[in-house]
Structure 1
Amino acid sequence: MQEANHDKRPPGPLKALTGSILGLLHTHLELFSLELEEERERLLRALVLGVVGAGALLLFLTTLTIGILVLVRPEWRGMAALALTLFHLILGAFCLNRAWRFYTLGPRPFAATLDEINKNKKFLSR
């Protein structure tokens, strides 16, 4: 009979604390895995769109350049080629700058997980 009563006792504070910590860890790991999957999908989508877009723009610019050079009078073709080269250089630098800014100023990966961990730290440090 004493064994039956022994099993019905509430868990001690150490068991409750361990259970709470494991529960928090489990929640954080679930959130981390969800954010990891979202980041992977976001990166893949951006990569595919970037490659397809860059390829289409490259074909457009090549066709446009050839068309302009064919239409320009022969004595001005050198200047037209130089102007188009400068235009392509400026366009490329602008696009690379925008891509870099998008990457560096974009949302922080795993922000929700880090925020939850910080909330738990503040709660536990009280």
Structure 2
Amino acid sequence: MVRTRLELLSTELAEEKERLLTQLVLGLAALFFIGLGIIFAALFLTVVLWDSHRLLALGMFTVLFLGLGIAALVAAAKFARTQPKLFAASLAELSKDQDHLSSRL
């Protein structure tokens, strides 16, 4: 019975590792390309407005980027707080086993 529980724990650990690695790679790729696109869009609009409102354009982009960065930070913190407990299935099974063994004694 202990072996089965350890195998379950090992499987959950491997799945969690793979999920986190995939999420990290995809997230970094998305951040890189979206960031690059945003920078080029900001540069394009600043150059378009260079003769008339360049300081306004630069100020607006600064406020926008800082606001989006803060919003992303808040969302990341919320996401981290709402993640399911690691090894929840294994801990639940071990608790059931413990209750089962306690009732037999």
Alignment partners' CA distance in 1, 2:74 and 2:99? 38
Q: Deviations over 1:63-96 (max 9, x none)?
A: 0110110111434111111110110111111122
1:54 aligns with 2:49: no
Q: TM-score, normalised by structure 1?
A: 0.76
The one-letter code matched in structure 2 to 1:59 is: L
2:75 corresponds to 1:98: yes
User: Within 1, Cα distance between the matches of 2:100 and 2:51?
Assistant: 76
Deviation at 1:99, TM superposition (A): 2.1
CA distance in 2, matches of 1:82, 1:125: 67
Instruction: Kindly indicate whether residue 35 of structure 2 is the aligned counterpart of residue 34 of structure 1.
Output: no
Aligned residues: 103
- The Cα shift of 1:57 comes to 1.2
Q: State the Cα RMSD in Å.
A: 1.3
Q: Partners of 2:83 and 2:5 in 1: how far apart?
A: 23
Aligned to 1:70: 47
Counterpart residue number, 1:4: none
The alpha-carbon deviation at position 103 of structure 1 amounts to: 2.2
Alignment correspondent of 2:63: 86
Give the counterpart of 1:115 among 92, 95, 99: 92
Moved over 6 A (4+): none
* 1:115 positional shift: 0.6
Larger Rg: 1
Q: C-alpha deviations, 1:92-121, integer Å up to 9, x for none? A: 111222222222212222111011011112
1:78 partner amino acid: L
Q: Which whole-Å deviations, capped at 9, do the CAs of 1:44-64 have from their partners, x for residues lacking one?
A: 011001110110111011101
Distance 1:62 1:53 in 2: 14
